A and B are shown apart, each in its own frame.
Chain A
């Protein structure tokens, strides 16, 4: 039977909207803290535009990318930032929604899930994390 070891444990509220954890994004001198949801259906990490503004990023100067969603296409811009979750940090290209009305923060596969090992016991609201190394 295979086993996996984790270095971090996070307790979230079971039965509440999604599986969320605190995230720090930083670029240069600025740093923001937000709550993001683990989203295995998201190809990339996507965040609210206002967080880019708080990091003093020029959103439109990033890599323009369109994403498919359940309700159609949404536009976003990619920026290289440092992303930290539960003390694990690495540089990743993450995307900020062009539309400031979209208030979702998603930890997706490229740039986050592909950098870590993750375990879930949703019944107990427990998330386990370790870096992928």
Chain B
């Protein structure tokens, strides 16, 4: 996601490229997106350090 650093540690709700809402509480973020008319937004939790490469596998 572009601008990931701005939202590090937060949940963001997206509709395509559009950022609908963001915050620390996933349900509030989803509800705010729904209030804007998007029933099933893409919900992404931005890592605390989004710029770091991932070794993966938890």
Contact = CB atoms under 8 A, between A and B. Distances in A.
Chain B interface bracket (under 10, 10 to 19, 20 to 34, 35 or more): 10 to 19
Interface in A20-53: 22, 24, 31-35, 37, 39, 41-42, 46, 48, 50-51, 53
Interface in B13-46: 26-27, 30, 39-45
A103 B54 CA distance: 12
A35 B42 contact: yes
Contacts of B41: 33
Contacts of B11: 50
A104 to B, nearest CB: 5
Given A33-B42, A33-B43, A35-B44, A50 B26 contact: yes
